[in-house]
Amino acid sequence: MYAKLKSIHKSIEKSLENKYVDALMLALCINDEGKPNNFEAIGQQILASDPNIDAIQLIPNGVIKYTYPQKGNEAATGINILKNKKNRYEALKTIQTRKMYFAGPFELKQGGLGILGRIAIYKNNKFWGFSAILIRLQTFFDNPDIKKLDNSKYTFVFSKINPITQKETFFTNTKQNKEIDIKNAITSYIDAGDWKLYLIDNKPNEFVLPFATHTILALFLSILIGYLTTSFFKKPAELEILLQEQTDKLLKNEIKFKSIFDHAALGITYVDTLTGKFSEVNKKFCEMTGYTNDELKNLDLFKLIHPDDINISLEYLDKLIKGKIKEYTIEKRFISKLGKTICVNITVSSLWKEGETPTNHIVVIEDITKRKETERIINESQIRIESLINTVDGIVWECDAKTLNFNFISKKVESILGYTSEEWINTPKFWPNHIYHKDRETALNFCMSKTAAKLNHDFEYRMVAKDGRIIWFKDIVNVIVLNDEAVSLRGIMIDITKNKEIEKDLNNSFNLVSEQNKRLLNFSYIVSHNLRTHTSNIASIVDLIETSDSEEEKEEMVQLLKSVSDSLNETMLNLNEIVNIQTNVDIVTEKVNLKQYIDNTLTVLSDQIQLKGVKIISNIDKEVEFIYNPAYLESILYNLISNAIRYSHHERHPIIQIDSYVEGKNTVLKISDNGIGIDLDKNGHKIFGMYKKFSTHKDSKGIGLFITKNQIDAMGGNITVESEPNLGTTFKVFIA
């Protein structure tokens, strides 16, 4: 029984090994694109060579898609074995073990019980699917060693642990459903299918009594003979078994390698190291070069290499022969039989042990012509697109919507801002950090709010160039949305600095014209009002002179006429000075020393200062200098200091304090007094008006502050006043 079971075991394993070669050959028909080539032809060839196979299958991604023969197996097409509860466990075991595993027996969709032997297929180190061999259970039991058993004496069964129920299930060749008694059985185990083989003795006690005596005698003799025979034949038998095992291994490896070599999707050749001659070439290499197998064996490798690539090939081959490298991979060009240039990626490995003299090497060739052509087209397209982008009169860019880190910016950025594209892209937060500080918060908040709302937008802001210049930009932004989420921003930044400068000039011109119009209206009002007053007075006095009866009365009217005439003359002089200030476009300026001009003014007003006993506190540093019109500065200082003296308070000792300091880009002149003050709530709106008086002082004419304001405005500055009645007044002159 042991001999019979061992024979059956060996026969089954031999059959399963043949199925492995068939499944491997089927797997090799899959090309680089994951599609089978000549599937039906190979299937027909496999079934013809092994009658113990009922069908073959290719199962991409676990879904049964290709079956040969299709007829009779239609029901199996489309089944996903990785999601099918019945098939999933054994399919995953095939992937985990990376060996061929025989699933089943189980009920087939196309009817009956069957066994499926599967191997997992990988392409580019990525799982592709399965190659499978289908054996119906009846075909399995048609094994010659099983069929020749004497069924009256022995029963052959095998079992498997059901992966779902975890119960042992038995399978027999008999159709009657009888209970299996395995008490009088011997067993063995098939790893490839997790099957337990049983050979059951149907008549265990048949020969016990008749041959009991013979058995004892035979046992003694067999022990004696066995000892002698074993001693004599043990060593040759062991050698014979070892030889048979090695022969089987070599045969398997040869079949496996031959199948891989002939059906590989890459070109493979053996090349003589010294001569470069081809000793073996596979079918794919012949297809690639256009030469037949015999033609290639009459050529050497260097006849196929493009002339421009021969030197680099010789250089690498020399390193390989000298043992400096064990293998190398390079891209080069071959010339086909028809003269066509083929781009290939070749890997050259030595076929000798370290320290031995090199004799042969193996070359694996991959045709990358299509890939190279695609890369060329992509590169040309990219260059063309970048060229077009760089001709756009603006900075084209793209960034991440969340981090605002840029992944692309056109070369135009260098000519506009001075930064290179590499500086911009390789520096995190480059864009936010280079927005002008006064615009940064507003620009970022606006951009982020519009991005969060997934809205395209445009806005204006300033950036700091590499040389420190401030550049105005109009940024037009397109929000890229994926799966209802803003993932990136693309846009163009347009330099609008010149437009902003023109706009600023226009605003300045508009403001200047508006101010001039305002002054012109004010001036026309002053002229019409004051001159009309004087002319009316003159006309009235002339009428009185004409109607006067006495000479004394006429003389009195003439004196009055002279007074009005003098007043008219003074008014004309004031108006003329104002016209000169407001129409003087080219004002002459020079560097002036503030302390020197204040000292000169105090000298001119020294009589008034002494007469009223004014205390002057001047804190002006002698280093304070700026560009100004000298005549205007004299007039401004004279008017402000003389007013402080004129309107001093009669109940306290007059004090005038003069200070200067820097505020921003302006020099500020501050003149304070403790005089009678001004009610700003009542008169603040007209304090710098012409002929506006705020006291009953006899010397008050209402022209000094008006002229002072016009002179300061003409120099681009400003004047402010702070005052309270009976407390004093402070004037601040802002000198630009």
Are 333 and 322 in contact, with CB atoms under 8 Å apart? no
**What is the reported pLDDT for 700?**
47
What confidence tens digit (pLDDT) does each residue in 427-485 have? Answer: 999 999 999 999 999 999 999 999 999 999 999 999 999 999 999 999 999 999 999 99
> Which 8-state DSSP code applies to residue 465?
-
Instruction: Indicate whether 223 belongs to any domain.
Output: no
Q: What's the CA gap between 544 and 556, in Å, rounded?
A: 10
CATH assignment at residue 455? 3.30.450.20
Check whether residue 518 and residue 370 sit in a common domain: no
Query: Please, where are the H alpha helices in 264-352?
Result: 283-289, 293-297, 301-304, 310-321
Task: Give the count of alpha carbons within 13 A of 510, CB side only.
Answer: 6
Q: Show the domain range for 183.
A: 2-201
Check whether residue 313 and residue 171 sit in a common domain: no
CATH assignment at residue 76? 3.30.450.350
Check whether residue 312 and residue 460 sit in a common domain: no
Q: Which secondary-structure segment (H or E) carries 198?
A: strand 195-201
Check whether residue 271 and residue 355 sit in a common domain: yes
Closest CA to 9 of 161, 134, 193: 193
Closest CA to 463 of 397, 365, 544, 538: 397
> Which 8-state DSSP code applies to residue 675?
S
**What is the reported pLDDT for 625?**
92
Q: Which CA distances in Å does 601 have to 67, 133, 308, 635, 705?
A: 114, 117, 93, 9, 17
Are 365 and 344 in contact, with CB atoms under 8 Å apart? yes
Q: How many domains does the chain have?
A: 5
Instruction: Indicate whether 338 belongs to any domain.
Output: yes
Are 703 and 690 in contact, with CB atoms under 8 Å apart? yes
As separate numbers, helices (DSSP H) first and strands (DSSP E) second, the chain gives: 23, 26
Check whether residue 436 and residue 453 sit in a common domain: yes
Check whether residue 491 and residue 511 sit in a common domain: no
Q: What's the CA gap between 69 and 44, in Å, rounded?
A: 8
CATH assignment at residue 639? 3.30.565.10
Instruction: Indicate whether 211 belongs to any domain.
Output: no
**What is the reported pLDDT for 89?**
84
Check whether residue 442 and residue 541 sit in a common domain: no
Q: What's the CA gap between 28 and 31, in Å, rounded?
A: 8
Instruction: Indicate whether 574 belongs to any domain.
Output: yes
Check whether residue 691 and residue 728 sit in a common domain: yes
Instruction: Indicate whether 74 belongs to any domain.
Output: yes
**What is the reported pLDDT for 211?**
67
Beta bridge partners of 56: 68, 133
Closest CA to 343 of 366, 363, 318, 327: 366
Q: What's the CA gap between 169 and 357, in Å, rounded?
A: 59
- The residues of the chain scoring below 70 in pLDDT are 174-178, 206-211, 231, 233-237, 248, 250-263, 351-358, 385-392, 512, 515-537, 563-564, 566-586, 683-686, 688-703
Task: Please identify, among 331, 347, 374, the residue that sits at the C-terminal boundary of a domain.
Answer: 374
What is the largest distance, in Å, between two alpha-carbon atoms of the chain?
195
Q: What's the CA gap between 112 and 134, in Å, rounded?
A: 12
Instruction: Indicate whether 300 belongs to any domain.
Output: yes
Q: Which secondary-structure segment (H or E) carries 493?
A: strand 485-495
Q: What's the CA gap between 526 and 690, in Å, rounded?
A: 7
Question: Residue 615 is encoded by which pair of tokens?
Answer: 């205390």
Q: What percent of the chain lies above the pLDDT cut of 90?
A: 21
Closest CA to 619 of 660, 672, 673: 660
> Which 8-state DSSP code applies to residue 36?
B
Check whether residue 526 and residue 600 sit in a common domain: no
Task: Please identify, among 344, 374, 404, the residue that sits at the C-terminal boundary of a domain.
Answer: 374
Q: Which CA distances in Å does 526 have to 225, 487, 522, 535?
A: 153, 66, 6, 14
Q: What's the CA gap between 736 and 734, in Å, rounded?
A: 6
Task: Please identify, among 153, 186, 201, the residue that sits at the C-terminal boundary of a domain.
Answer: 201
Check whether residue 489 and residue 578 sit in a common domain: no
Instruction: Indicate whether 45 belongs to any domain.
Output: yes
**What is the reported pLDDT for 356?**
67
Q: Which secondary-structure segment (H or E) carries 267?
A: strand 267-272
Q: What does pTM read for this prediction?
A: 0.35
CATH assignment at residue 569? 1.10.287
Q: What's the CA gap between 570 and 99, in Å, rounded?
A: 119
Q: What's the CA gap between 734 and 335, in Å, rounded?
A: 85
Q: Which secondary-structure segment (H or E) carries 571?
A: helix 551-583
| Pairing status of strand 470-482 against strand 625-628 | unpaired
Q: What's the CA gap between 377 and 373, in Å, rounded?
A: 6
> Which 8-state DSSP code applies to residue 37?
S
Check whether residue 442 and residue 533 sit in a common domain: no
Question: Residue 543 is encoded by which pair of tokens?
Answer: 């009428």
Are 486 and 452 in contact, with CB atoms under 8 Å apart? yes
Instruction: Indicate whether 232 belongs to any domain.
Output: no
| Pairing status of strand 406-409 against strand 718-724 | unpaired
Are 56 and 143 in contact, with CB atoms under 8 Å apart? no
Check whether residue 338 and residue 280 sit in a common domain: yes
